[in-house]
Structure 1
Amino acid sequence: MNLKSYGFQQKPNLAGKLSNLDRVEADLLQARAAIRKAVNGKQTQDIDYVPTGPMYHKPNLFHRSYLEMEKRFKVFVYEEGEPPVFHDGPCRDIYSMEGIFINQMEMNDKFITKDPEKAHVFFLSYSVAMMVHYVYVRDSRAYDLLRITVKDYINVLSEKYPYWNRSHGADHFILACHDWGPEVSNAVPNLYKNSIRAFCNANTSEGFKPVKDVSIPEINVRTGIIDDLLGGPSPSKRSILAFFAGGLHGDIRNVLLEHWEHKDEDIQVHKYLPKGVSYYAMLRKSKFCLCPSGWEVASPRVVEAIYTGCVPVLISDHYVPPFSDVLNWKSFSVEVSVNDIPNLKKILSNISPRQYIRMQRRVGQVRKHFEVNSPPKRFDVFHMILHSIWLRRLNLKLHDDQ
């Protein structure tokens, strides 16, 4: 976790009185100090969960930061905008995180504040997936109406409230799981350049900046609950070395299918599964689950693998995995470059049984951070997304120009 500030620098209020923004910044200053003390301190006790182990870059730091977030973090949600494009989103498809997060954020008494003067961040509560459904002209590939919608929305907020202009959008955040989230954020230069953008499509080749943006997991919650997706057998009962099933959705998958489809019993790669074969049963039979990027970098297969206890194999050249400022993905997943797809069997076979067992165990340990709960539970995916936003706000210092 990087606690180095960027962007705006804090300067003293010459009148000698603390403005509301000064108070917010003073609160964050105390949080930063408490987190720094945790670097070499004793692990804080916690009734629910104490993060430990190599799955975390710095478990003490993460835990203290998380506790400081619970203690202090306040989010103001603008009330402007009408559903379904605003304050709503899908909850039962590949873009589920948009609707789930919006709903859980706006229903959350712990982190929501009705007083914008007390807010650390401001949530721009729109859904790109719903815009595509209700505003986009089908098959046009034209983003103009989507961009206009966002531009008009921010113009309304910037004219009605002082907060967007005060920080040039730097203490505002959006969340989108739709592939076009980054493209729509281009509608307003300061939204793209300054704001915290929480995206499933965390593609560094398309302008995603890990220092200020947030990578969130793509979770396909088909039924609205995940209980039937969780769990899998022990390593000894997983007979398949690696598994993938999916259509020709992007160049990386084309390469994967070309090299491995029906070529090797150990590397089970399918464009379409045989009739009667269960996708989730195959995940549970496999040691490693291949997660190649499609047309965009994110894939729901990453979380599906974690849910079923299968070690994810991330195949992409530009993807920033979720929560990677906290989670050490190398300890529980395998990263393979696109150029190394022909060497997949060699790479995975060279992982010793002992090392694999450790990785598989760690997959089970980090699973809680990807689970969707209603209502949310501590350390679950909702709280991890919020914590990632909290970290970006900690890295930002604003000053009051008034």
Structure 2
Amino acid sequence: MTIYRHDEDINTLTFSQKILERETNMSTFKVPWLMMILVTTFFQLVISTNSTIFHHTSNISNSSFSSNKKPQTNLQKIERGLARARAAIKKARNSHLTEEDPDYVPSGSVYWHANTFHRSYLEMEKRFRIYVYEEGDPPIFHNAPCYGILGLEGIFINDMEISGFRTMDPEKAHVYFLPFSIITLINYVFTGTSNWEPMYNTVRDYINVINQKYPYWNRSLGADHLMFACHDWGPKISRSIPHLYKNSIRALCNANTSEGFKLSRDVSLPEIYLPHGTTEGLLGGPSPSVRTILVFFSGGVHGYIREVLLKHWENKTEDGVKIQKYLPKGENYYTQVRKSKYCICASGWEVASPRMVEALYMGCVPVLVKDDYAKPFSDVLNWDTFSVDIPTRRIPQLKDILMAIPQRKYIRLQRNGVRVRRHFVVNLPPKRYDVFHMILHSIWLRRLDIHIRDIN
């Protein structure tokens, strides 16, 4: 406002001077000297008066504005903090200096931009807070199995309950976690028929309860709310609640972009098979020089991709190819993974598969044979540097594709896989940069893209 009014005065002065100059220079219009002096004096008086009035009213206006300025709400403070975090992350992208970190400093080609990731991770640790709704009773809420192929669901719920990222004050939260488990929902509510309505109603009723008790779901229409599901039915159950499906952050193992998974909003989870609930016996493997099997796969016919894979390569042991439906008696699955250079990670009935993380755990380069799959942590990790993608249509050329990879590139892929392993490891309790924190970081990035405003 001040600049605008100041410019207006300058424009008035300029305009009056131009009039005088134009009239003085016109040959057909003669102005006596006395009249010219009077006109000039008049314009100067008007300008001086307007300037005095402007400054006086400007001071009054500023004083009135200051006295009527409303204090910031908690949400506005949160959004300002997120804005500062975005600015710091953006600045780090153009910086060549990496900050010191007592545990780990990301570096190398496995990251799209190591400095940006590091700055974002530190900002997450500094600011990010999640509120876990306390409503709901076990076993459907606040509880899930922590072992087996879907154990990550229970592990995340348990870790979140005790995490330093959890806030007990919902007014300070960036994200609101809906702690229902798809696994326990199926175990305790699903009737074993084609009628899924009881499961849908359980989630709907829960959201209605928190919506009536708290203002946060309605304030954002669920956009700053989080659901977590490793079970294949997670996406379908989320569809039964329109705002949950369209707006909320859905952390899913079944991250299929052809079935509504949105890269900009949803979070892809790595499916991790923990036979005993821990990574005991799963981590580590020999160096590339002693791996004698070119490519390995063993598994049943679960879905179209595996059917095609086994049709072309089952029991064809040429040139180190070992692809079988079932291993011979006496052979150990993990031993074969540790003997192999490349491990096939094919989709089953759904896109998720624990073989991908198993390969990384044991030093085998993952070969992803999946259509429409959103890779975990792909906004940070460059999967091309530690894995191989083979489209379903190229399964018949599988051996030729892998044989064509130079030895030097294979070693680089293998070493990079060992480097990123830390980001997929389940630690009890969690450690910085492990899978729990990488999942949180993916959620953090989605929240940075959301701007929530107060209802009023």
What band does the TM-score fall into relative to the shorter chain?
over 0.9
Matched residue of 2:278: which SS? coil
Matched residue of 1:296: which SS? coil
Question: In structure 2, what residue type is equivalent to 1:75?
Answer: I
Paired position in structure 2 for 1:197: 250
Question: In structure 2, what residue type is equivalent to 1:221?
Answer: L
Q: 1:292 aligns with which of 315, 325, 346?
A: 346
Paired position in structure 2 for 1:6: none
Matched residue of 1:227: which SS? coil
Matched residue of 1:398: which SS? coil
Paired position in structure 2 for 1:359: 413
Once residues 203 and 347 of structure 1 are traced to their aligned partners in structure 2, the CA distance between those partners, rounded to angstroms, is 25
Paired position in structure 2 for 1:222: 275
Report whether the alignment pairs 1:73 with 2:123: no
* Structure 1 residue 45: Cα displacement: 1.1
Q: Which has the larger radius of gyration?
A: 2
Report whether the alignment pairs 1:19 with 2:73: yes
Report whether the alignment pairs 1:339 with 2:401: no
Matched residue of 2:84: which SS? helix
Could you list the per-position Cα deviations for residues 37-77 of structure 1 after superposition, in whole angstroms to 9, with x for gaps in the alignment? 10122111111101111110011000000000001100000
Paired position in structure 1 for 2:156: 101
> Structure 1's 278 and 333: CA in aligned 2 closer, same or farther, altered over 3 A?
same
> Structure 1's 15 and 207: CA in aligned 2 closer, same or farther, altered over 3 A?
farther
Q: 2:374 aligns with which of 315, 320, 326?
A: 320
Once residues 69 and 257 of structure 2 are traced to their aligned partners in structure 1, the CA distance between those partners, rounded to angstroms, is 43
Paired position in structure 2 for 1:235: 288
User: Residues 19-98 of structure 1 correspond to what in structure 2 (within 5 A)?
Assistant: 19-41=73-95, 42-98=97-153
Paired position in structure 2 for 1:147: 200
Where do 4+ consecutive residues of structure 1 move more than 2 Å? 14-17
Question: In structure 2, what residue type is equivalent to 1:301?
Answer: R
* Structure 1 residue 145: Cα displacement: 1.5
Question: In structure 1, what residue type is equivalent to 2:124?
Answer: M
Once residues 86 and 60 of structure 1 are traced to their aligned partners in structure 2, the CA distance between those partners, rounded to angstroms, is 38
* Structure 1 residue 107: Cα displacement: 1.0
Matched residue of 1:287: which SS? strand
* Structure 1 residue 15: Cα displacement: 5.7
Among the aligned pairs, what percent are the same residue? 60
Report whether the alignment pairs 1:276 with 2:325: no
Report whether the alignment pairs 1:178 with 2:257: no
Question: In structure 1, what residue type is equivalent to 2:136?
Answer: G
> Structure 1's 271 and 212: CA in aligned 2 closer, same or farther, altered over 3 A?
same
User: Residues 104-115 of structure 1 correspond to what in structure 2 (within 5 A)?
Assistant: 104-108=159-163, 110-115=164-169
Once residues 334 and 137 of structure 1 are traced to their aligned partners in structure 2, the CA distance between those partners, rounded to angstroms, is 41
Once residues 168 and 15 of structure 1 are traced to their aligned partners in structure 2, the CA distance between those partners, rounded to angstroms, is 28
Unpaired stretches in structure 2, ≥5 consecutive residues: 1-67
Paired position in structure 1 for 2:49: none
Once residues 93 and 142 of structure 1 are traced to their aligned partners in structure 2, the CA distance between those partners, rounded to angstroms, is 26
Paired position in structure 2 for 1:263: 316
- Relative to the length of structure 2, the TM-score reads 0.84
Paired position in structure 2 for 1:137: 191
Could you list the per-position Cα deviations for residues 106-159 of structure 1 after superposition, in whole angstroms to 9, with x for gaps in the alignment? 011x21111100000000001101111111112x24322211111111011111
> Structure 1's 141 and 280: CA in aligned 2 closer, same or farther, altered over 3 A?
farther
Once residues 329 and 96 of structure 1 are traced to their aligned partners in structure 2, the CA distance between those partners, rounded to angstroms, is 24
Which deviates further from its counterpart, 40-49 or 200-209? 40-49
* Structure 1 residue 313: Cα displacement: 0.5
Once residues 398 and 132 of structure 1 are traced to their aligned partners in structure 2, the CA distance between those partners, rounded to angstroms, is 33
Once residues 146 and 314 of structure 1 are traced to their aligned partners in structure 2, the CA distance between those partners, rounded to angstroms, is 33
Question: In structure 2, what residue type is equivalent to 1:147?
Answer: Y
Matched residue of 2:281: which SS? helix
Between structures 1 and 2, the one with greater helix share: 2
Paired position in structure 1 for 2:454: 400
Question: In structure 1, what residue type is equivalent to 2:298?
Answer: A
Matched residue of 1:69: which SS? helix
Once residues 242 and 141 of structure 1 are traced to their aligned partners in structure 2, the CA distance between those partners, rounded to angstroms, is 40
Could you list the per-position Cα deviations for residues 334-358 of structure 1 after superposition, in whole angstroms to 9, with x for gaps in the alignment? 0111001001001101110000000
Could you list the per-position Cα deviations for residues 239-285 of structure 1 after superposition, in whole angstroms to 9, with x for gaps in the alignment? 00000011011110000000000123322111111001000000000
Report whether the alignment pairs 1:304 with 2:304: no
Paired position in structure 1 for 2:29: none
Could you list the per-position Cα deviations for residues 313-349 of structure 1 after superposition, in whole angstroms to 9, with x for gaps in the alignment? 0101110110000000011000111001001001101
* Structure 1 residue 20: Cα displacement: 1.1
Paired position in structure 1 for 2:422: 368
Q: 1:160 aligns with which of 196, 203, 213?
A: 213
Q: 2:303 aligns with which of 250, 260, 263?
A: 250
